[in-house]
Amino acid sequence: MSTHHPVAVIGGGLGGLTAARVLHVNGVQAAVFELEASAAARTQGGMLDIHEENGQKALHAAGLHEDFLQIVHGGGQEMRLVGPDATVHVREKDDGTGARPEVDRGDLRDLLLNSLPDGTVRWGRKVTAVRGLGDGRHEVTFADGSTVTTDLLIGADGAWSRVRPLLSDATPAYTGVSFAETDLHDADARHPRSAALVGGGFFISLGGRRGFLAHRETDGSLHVYAALKADEGWLDTVDFTDPAAAKAAVLTRFEGWHEDLRGLVADADTVTPRRIHALPVGHRWERTPGVTLLGDAAHLMSPFAGEGANLAMLDGAELAEAIAARPGDTEAALASYEQALFPRSEASAAESAASLDTMFGDRGLERMIEFFTAGPAAG
């Protein structure tokens, strides 16, 4: 048996949920299919700075901006930039007036989920195949053998999108940067030196084509990325099933760095590998009836411009508004949406790629000091 949904969103991340919410606000019903088993299947984690010009614009369209302000992490816009010797070169306070307030990704996802009618999200639906049926209709097959058909298929299913091949042969490529991602729980009590080092918001330490990027989370933990330029296969040489061995292997790449900085790995409670991939800058596709992409499925980029979640939400909001504004003419709606999507995402992807080169180049620390002291204030 196959069920039919006029609008099917594949992926229940921030972009897909924003699309469903803005459609709902405008009287259009959508079904969201998410591979995770439930809303609580895993910790969403990670802090996001939600920008006035895109992420917050999407929240206004969703009618959720006032609620968003209630979950903002006070103090989260504080920033420190330090060198490998732990000398602080740039320090910015969070005075509450910035245009990029920090929020916990999980809290933001819950805000969106709770704004949708019951049953909008179908959990535990892992896509195994997608095919066109003609006339802009598509069929989606799931791992449990069930299928759905739809008049409008929205691929919001992330970096390794199952929907993208309907539109594009592009696949994400390794950017040259790998992360060892760590968490230090209950930092003030259990890891006071690390807590004092990172401070109340965002923390950057750079040097020698590597560095540490860290955030203080709303639960009092520290979330850290030990980042370095490395061959794509380097992470495969590290046994991440043995945390002590993994931490030791990562720390060999930070010889000579201040012990407080090394402690962000040495003292961590968890350590997880992550390669950073990106789609080609300027990725786009020919208008194809009945299907489009948003978020990472459309424009996966490295995280070094801080735009991924913001763009996904704006994509979702603008796509939904375009659909609602053109009832009965889906193709005109998708064409209008993509006309704005492509140049916007190309500009951000180019910025992200340039930021990667800056931060992990030979003079990464010096160039970032120049950026923060000579350019406009960050966040």
Q: What is the mean pLDDT of residues 253-268?
A: 97
Would you say residue 260 has pLDDT above 70? yes
Structure tokens at 103: 């929020």
Contacts of 347 (CB under 8 A, 6+ apart): none
Q: Rounded distance, CA 228 to CA 254, Å?
A: 9
* pLDDT tens by residue, 23-60: 999 999 999 999 998 888 766 667 888 999 999 999 99
**pLDDT reported for residue 305:** 84
Q: Rounded distance, CA 221 to CA 240, Å?
A: 21
How deeply is 159 buried, as exposed, middle or buried, from its count of CB atoms within 10 A (0-12, 13-18, 19+)? middle
**pLDDT reported for residue 100:** 79
* pLDDT tens by residue, 214-257: 998 888 999 999 999 999 999 999 999 999 999 999 999 999 99
**pLDDT reported for residue 44:** 61
**pLDDT reported for residue 378:** 42
**pLDDT reported for residue 49:** 86
* pLDDT tens by residue, 292-318: 999 999 999 999 888 899 999 999 999
326-331 contact pairs (CB < 8 A, 24+)? 330/136, 330/151, 330/152, 330/290, 331/136, 331/287, 331/289
Q: What is the mean pLDDT of residues 343-365?
A: 95
Contacts of 155 (CB under 8 A, 6+ apart): 10, 11, 161, 162, 163, 164, 166, 167, 291, 292, 293, 294, 297, 298
**pLDDT reported for residue 377:** 45
Contacts of 17 (CB under 8 A, 6+ apart): 32, 109, 112, 113, 116, 121, 316
3-state secondary structure of 248: helix
* pLDDT tens by residue, 164-186: 999 999 999 999 999 999 999 99
Residue recorded with tokens 């489009």: 292
42 labelled ligand-binding = yes
Percent of the chain's residues with pLDDT above 90: 83
* pLDDT tens by residue, 79-136: 899 999 999 999 988 666 667 788 889 999 999 999 999 999 999 999 999 999 999 9
**pLDDT reported for residue 97:** 63
**Residue count of the chain:** 379
**pLDDT reported for residue 201:** 85
Q: What single DSSP character describes residue 316?
A: H
**pLDDT reported for residue 75:** 61
296 labelled ligand-binding = yes
Q: How confident is the model at residue 379 (pLDDT cuts 50, 70, 90)?
A: very low
b/e sequence 241-258, b meaning 16+ C-beta within 10 Å: eeeeebbebbbebbeebb
